[in-house]
Amino acid sequence: YLDYKTKICVSIHEVLKAVTESQTWARLREAHDRMKAEHLLERVTYWSIGETVLLFVIGIGQVMMLRSFFNEKKGPVAVST
């Protein structure tokens, strides 16, 4: 009867050990994936900021160029009547 209890205890201990190893592996994997996600978020943020700045620069340049088409030229202009 004692031998049977010992075998059951050893079996339970082995299962618990496997569960502990599985949880440890899952925690390590989660930490690794979290680090990758945070790094990716940082890169996406910088890329988005760069794209926004570029968009504003191009937009301002286009407005300035469009305004230059409608500005009156200063200088001698022949007026025909």
How far apart, in whole angstroms, are the C-alpha atoms of residue 47 and residue 12?
52
How far apart, in whole angstroms, are the C-alpha atoms of residue 40 and residue 34?
10
Any domain includes 4: yes
Any domain includes 76: no
Task: Report the pLDDT value the prediction gives residue 74, as an integer from 0 to 100.
Answer: 66
The structural domain count of the chain equals: 1
Burial of 51 (0-12, 13-18, 19+ CB in 10 A): exposed
Measured CA distances, 80 to 32, 64, 70 (Å): 78, 30, 21
Give the pLDDT mean for 10-20.
96
Any domain includes 15: yes
pLDDT digits (tens, 9 = 90+) for 46-74: 999 999 999 999 999 999 999 988 887 76
Any domain includes 13: yes
- 1: helix, coil or strand? coil
Any domain includes 53: yes
- pLDDT interval class at 16 (50, 70, 90): very high
Domain span at residue 45 reads: 1-60
Give the pLDDT mean for 25-44.
98
Any domain includes 81: no
Any domain includes 74: no
Give the pLDDT mean for 5-23.
95
